[in-house]
Amino acid sequence: MSKERFSVIIDGARSPIVLKNSPLLGIRSDDLAAVVIKELVNRNPEISKSLVEDHVVGCAFPEGPQGMLMAKGISILADLPTESAAKIVNRFCGSSMDAAHQVSQAIQSGDYDCGIASGVEDMFSVPMGGFNPSFNPTLYENEYYIGMGETAENLAKELEISRDDQEAFAIHSHEKALSAIFDGRFDNEIVAIEFNSNTVSVDEGPREPNIEKIKSLAPAFDADGTITAATSSPVSLGAASLLITSNMLAEESGVKAKFRIKSRAVAGVDWRVMGSGPLPATEKALAKAGLTINDIDVIELNEAFAAQSLYVIRKGGWEIDKINLNGGAIALGHPLGCSGARLLVTLMNVMEQKELTFGLATMCIGSGQGIATIIERIN
């Protein structure tokens, strides 16, 4: 009788996420991602890098310095074997979670046994919207190009999520992240990055909240709205990567695989309320895994906006204490194409630290989508 075939995550790593004025600004996305991947490969010698058949890289704006099929370029810079293939995947904010899905799918279907899923975004070098934006008049009429802040305002209005609640959520995100940094809980997921003789090894976003300043900010997107810069995820730069194999390969290599990818799902929603995307995506992922939300021990929910996160939590009836234990994107930053892989790296870390079994990572996607991944820690 043949054994069940599934995909497992051997390990994950990421760069620190940095904000404007960072000493890392100016580093190329491909160089940054390559450093993370090299470290990931080096610290897992049991899986020979010659086994990596494909490298899938998520990036939301793969143009300019992130263009020219950056995935293969990163592979070369990271010394992956010439024989391994590479591709870019774009599902906006869900790009690198989708990259992980694609590698997982290929492994599960038997196409290959080992792949790397990465994500990277430099939001300072390539502007949101790209260098030469061009809108379709019909889609414009249909508000397809609606600003992300506005979509979050729509959600805040629907559930009457107050500015105070959003600010409390954001402050809590910073507090959790600061305490994680203080306790060294990010240490084994972050790879220190050196650039222009500066080394950065800590996320730059989390800071002691300045309540007075937070309260004094003007609404950022709608003068009559509730969302401010303090309750939005900041523009940032970062890279993350995951080494994924089949359970068979892991076994043959004598590696004790830590995480099984239990289920994957994507879903579409109205683009004017794109922030609700995690709800249907999670529902699908739970159904495929044969689980309910109550079975999930911990959740990494991408914090595009505090209002959007609170919408998902309230509407889905999720337990807030299970969410983003080490802080979320409002504190850490949300480098679009990097975030999906970053959530999975952080999720694995949290599950190991707390010895939990089922974890969910999910995020909303501009254009009106949601994506979700459920992983299981293997004892």
When asked if residue 124 is in the footprint of other proteins (CB under 8 A), the reply is no
Question: Catalytic residue at 55?
Answer: no
Nearer to other proteins, 6 or 144 (CB): 144
When asked if residue 131 is in the footprint of other proteins (CB under 8 A), the reply is yes
333 Ramachandran zone, left/alpha/beta (phi>0; psi -120 to 50): left
By CB under 8 A, name the one of 222, 251, 283, 297 that touches other proteins.
222
**C-alpha angle with apex 306: 201 to 14, nearest 5 degrees?**
25
When asked if residue 221 is in the footprint of other proteins (CB under 8 A), the reply is yes
Minimum distance between the CB of residue 364 and other proteins, rounded to whole angstroms?
A: 19
Nearer to other proteins, 155 or 220 (CB): 220
Nearer to other proteins, 1 or 218 (CB): 218
Residues 181-220 contacting other proteins, CB under 8 A: 218-220
By CB under 8 A, name the one of 21, 82, 132, 292 that touches other proteins.
132
Nearer to other proteins, 219 or 280 (CB): 219
Question: Catalytic residue at 338?
Answer: no
Question: How far does the chain reach from its first CA to its final CA, in angstroms?
Answer: 23
Polymer length of the chain = 379
By CB under 8 A, name the one of 223, 290, 321, 355 that touches other proteins.
223
When asked if residue 67 is in the footprint of other proteins (CB under 8 A), the reply is no
**Cβ(358)–Cβ(262) below 8 Å:** yes
**Cβ(11)–Cβ(40) below 8 Å:** yes
When asked if residue 272 is in the footprint of other proteins (CB under 8 A), the reply is no
Minimum distance between the CB of residue 241 and other proteins, rounded to whole angstroms?
A: 32
Kindly list the distances between the CA atom of residue 211 and the CA atoms of 88, 126, 168, 226, 328, in Å, as whole numbers in the listed order. Answer: 41, 32, 10, 16, 19
**Cβ(258)–Cβ(359) below 8 Å:** no
Instruction: Copy the structure tokens of residue 18.
Output: 């940095």
Kindly list the distances between the CA atom of residue 155 and the CA atoms of 293, 303, 308, 320, in Å, as whole numbers in the listed order. Answer: 22, 14, 6, 18
Determine the longest span between alpha carbons in the chain, in angstroms.
66
When asked if residue 6 is in the footprint of other proteins (CB under 8 A), the reply is no
By CB under 8 A, name the one of 140, 192, 252, 287 that touches other proteins.
140
Catalytic residue among 93, 114, 172, 338: 93
Minimum distance between the CB of residue 259 and other proteins, rounded to whole angstroms?
A: 40
When asked if residue 145 is in the footprint of other proteins (CB under 8 A), the reply is yes
Nearer to other proteins, 31 or 150 (CB): 150
Question: Catalytic residue at 93?
Answer: yes
| Amino acid, single-letter form, for residue 56 | V
Using CA atoms, how far apart are residues 263 and 285, in angstroms rounded to an integer? 6
When asked if residue 135 is in the footprint of other proteins (CB under 8 A), the reply is yes
Minimum distance between the CB of residue 147 and other proteins, rounded to whole angstroms?
A: 5
Strands (E), the chain: 7-14, 54-58, 85-89, 114-122, 193-195, 198-200, 237-246, 259-268, 298-301, 358-365, 369-377
Nearer to other proteins, 137 or 290 (CB): 137
Cite the active site residues.
Answer: 93, 334, 364
Residues of the shown chain interacting with other proteins in the complex, contacts defined by CB under 8 A: 129, 131-137, 140, 145, 147, 149-150, 218-223
